[in-house]
C-alpha cells in the first residue's frame, strides 16, 4: 500500500463514516477494487475510524463538554451492546472484513433502513434508558461491514419516535465511545505489532478532514426527506457489487 492509496482510503472513510452508507463496507469494496492492493488488515481500518472520531470530538466539542450526567448515562447504556458484541466477535472481524458478498447484502439492508427513516413518525426529542438500549442494539449490528452505524442508529431513533435531528446528534456522540473502545481493543490485540507506519498517519489525517466535511453534509441532509436518496444509493451499490465482485 502506498501513500496515495492510504489517502484515498482515508478520504473514503471520512466521506462515508457519518453519511448513512457504511464506511466499513465501502472500505472493503474499495480495497477489493484497487489493483494490486495488499490488505493492510483491521489495524489500518482502526486508524481510519480514529480519524473520524477525532472529527466528531473537534466538531461537537462545545456540546460534549456541556453534556449532563443523564446524557452521559444514556450514551454509556447505549454503548454496552456494541462493546459486548465487539468483544465476542473480535476474533472473527478479519474474516467479516474480507467478505465482499456479505458487505453487498448488508448494504441492501442499509438501503432499506435509510428509505424507512424518512417514513418514521417523529414525536419527541428525548431518549429514555430503554430507547437508548434499543439504539445501542442497532449500533451493535452495525459491527457488520456494510451496515451503516449512523444509518442504523438514526433509523432506530426515528423508529422510536425521536426527532431526526435529536437522533442524529445522539448517533454522532455515540460513535465516540464505541469507536474508541474498538480502537483500544484492536490496539491491545495487535500490541506486539504496532509499528508506526506513515500510511496509517496519512489515512488518519484524511479521514479526519473529510469526516468534518461529511458531518456538515449530513446535518444539512437531516432536513426534509433526503435520507431516501442515501437508501437508493446503498441499494444500487449493493446490487452492483453482487454482480461485479
Confidence (pLDDT) at 144: 84
Q: What is the pLDDT along the chain (245 residues), one digit of tens a residue?
A: 678 888 888 888 888 878 888 877 777 777 677 666 665 666 777 788 889 889 999 999 998 999 999 999 999 999 999 888 877 876 676 666 667 788 889 999 999 999 999 888 777 667 889 999 999 999 999 888 888 988 999 999 999 999 888 888 899 899 888 778 777 777 776 666 666 678 888 989 999 999 999 888 888 877 777 788 999 999 998 898 888 76
Q: What grid cell was written down for 229? A: 436518496
Domain assignment of residue 51, given as a range: 3-34+42-244
Tell me the C-alpha distance between 230 and 17, whole Å: 13
First to last CA, the chain: 21
Mutual orientation of helices 227-244 and 149-159 as an angle, nearest 10°? 140
Tell me the C-alpha distance between 198 and 3, whole Å: 8
- Specify the pTM: 0.84
Confidence (pLDDT) at 131: 92
How many domains does the chain divide into?
Answer: 1
Confidence (pLDDT) at 190: 66
Assign 223 to helix, strand or coil. Answer: coil
Q: What grid cell was written down for 156? A: 432506530
Evaluate whether 211 touches 17 at the Cβ level (below 8 Å).
yes
Amino acid at each position: 500500500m502506498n501513500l496515495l492509496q492510504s489517502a484515498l482510503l482515508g478520504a473514503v472513510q471520512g466521506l462515508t463514516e457519518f453519511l448513512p452508507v457504511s464506511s466499513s463496507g465501502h472500505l472493503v469494496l474499495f480495497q477489493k477494487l484497487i489493483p494490486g492492493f495488499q490488505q493492510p488488515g483491521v489495524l489500518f481500518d482502526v486508524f481510519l475510524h480514529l480519524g473520524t472520531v477525532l472529527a466528531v470530538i473537534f466538531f461537537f466539542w462545545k456540546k460534549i463538554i456541556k453534556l449532563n450526567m443523564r446524557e452521559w448515562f444514556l450514551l454509556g447504556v447505549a454503548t454496552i451492546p456494541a462493546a459486548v458484541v465487539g468483544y465476542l466477535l473480535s476474533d472473527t472481524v478479519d474474516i467479516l472484513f474480507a467478505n465482499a458478498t456479505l458487505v453487498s447484502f448488508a448494504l441492501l439492508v442499509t438501503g432499506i433502513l435509510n428509505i424507512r427513516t424518512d417514513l418514521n413518525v417523529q414525536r419527541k426529542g428525548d431518549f429514555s434508558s430503554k430507547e437508548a438500549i434499543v439504539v445501542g442494539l442497532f449500533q451493535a449490528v452495525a459491527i457488520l461491514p456494510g451496515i451503516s452505524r449512523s444509518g442504523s442508529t438514526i433509523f432506530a431513533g426515528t423508529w422510536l419516535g425521536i426527532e431526526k435531528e435529536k437522533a442524529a446528534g445522539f448517533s454522532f456522540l455515540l460513535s465516540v465511545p464505541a469507536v474508541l473502545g474498538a480502537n483500544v481493543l484492536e490496539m491491545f490485540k495487535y500490541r506486539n505489532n504496532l509499528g508506526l507506519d506513515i500510511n496509517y498517519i496519512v489515512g488518519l489525517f484524511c479521514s479526519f478532514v473529510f469526516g468534518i466535511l461529511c458531518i456538515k453534509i449530513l446535518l444539512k441532509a437531516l432536513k426534509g426527506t433526503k435520507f431516501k436518496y442515501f437508501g437508493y444509493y446503498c441499494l444500487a451499490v449493493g446490487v452492483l457489487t453482487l454482480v461485479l465482485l
